Structure 1
């Protein structure tokens, strides 16, 4: 009976059911878009050069479907982060308006988490801290380094009072210590620039989830996957969907 349950649990991934193109081709296009600063039309031309006639709107739909799925599936495979947090937010244009992308890295520059928010206040900061603390690769931090944004002390104080955050966690408002995360923003900005802004909040959130996921993979955050080993990275992403690379 146990063997029968084990066999039944290993089913082919249905994520690509009904697609006109193969899963390998779809994941290749999605990975390339999320790794390099190119537009959908650029990627359309690259695929056409390889004999694959795929509209840029189709690639857009692939990214919207599979980028957040990659981000969700890699979480259990990430290495444990250390106890030092560097938190900052950067600006992302969505439908002609600026929104705020909260991001956190540890003292080694490894991405911990990210969250897109329409507002930059204490409630948004608490949502981000809760999201980061709820991940399997994180734990209560020893130090949290932030900039001079007054929302952070308010959020940390309230979370400590509610027992959501370790009472001995130290909040440091020191701009130069946050250079690690501020430098890390540049990689993201380079990827976002070819998009010329996002057409909607949900579109931005899904795409940014894919950017963040691929950034973690390329930084070597995934166990047994080298940050410079692109072949192993492609194999890892394929295995997330039970697809042969």
Structure 2
């Protein structure tokens, strides 16, 4: 049985948040499209540029299957490099959002 792939829009919004679980800090990375479809979410023990790069690669290659036209993020310094390295053709709107609204 195969699941149907969601037709994600080409404009994405990405953010990360920290979460404490059993005394350990985890980071939840999330990206949604402009229609509020969750494209991808990943838990990580680190919040650094390499973790962000891995997350964007997974969201593009494994889940969405295409490169978005734009990604809007908060002002975290690692986002420009994390987006530019794996997907240089994507427009990055840096510092344009505070957080991802999940509802």
Q: TM-score, normalised by structure 1?
A: 0.39
In the alignment, is the contact (CA less than 8 A) between 1:112 and 1:138 conserved in 2?
no
Q: Say yes or no: does 1:78 pair with 2:5.
A: yes
CA 1:102/1:136 → structure 2, altered by over 3 Å: closer, same or farther? closer
- Write the distance in 1 (CA, Å) between the matches of 2:9 and 2:89: 16
Partner residue of 1:102? 29
Contact 2:84 2:90 in 1 (8 A): no
Q: How is 1:163-242 mapped onto 2 (pairs within 5 angstroms)?
A: 165=87, 167-176=88-97, 179=99, 181=100, 183-184=101-102
Is the 1:140–1:169 contact (alpha carbons within 8 Å) kept by the matching residues of 2? yes
Cα gap change, 1:171 to 1:133, in 2 (>3 Å): same
1:151 aligns with 2:73: no
Greater strand percent: which structure? 2
Runs of 5+ unmatched residues, structure 1: 1-72, 160-164, 188-245
Q: 1:3 aligns to what?
A: none
Number of residue pairs matched by the alignment:
103
SS in 1 for 2:93: strand
User: Which structure's residues are more often helix, by fraction?
Assistant: 1
Determine the C-alpha separation between the residues in 1 that align with 2:29 and 2:46: 10
Runs of 4+ displaced beyond 6 Å: none
**Superposition RMSD on alpha carbons, in Å?**
2.0
2:58 aligns with: 131
1:136 Cα shift? 4.9
Unaligned 5+ runs, structure 2: none
Q: 1:138 to 1:82 in 2, by over 3 A?
A: farther
TM-score (structure 2 length as normaliser): 0.86
Aligned CA distance change for structure 1 residues 96 and 136 (closer, same or farther; 3 Å): closer
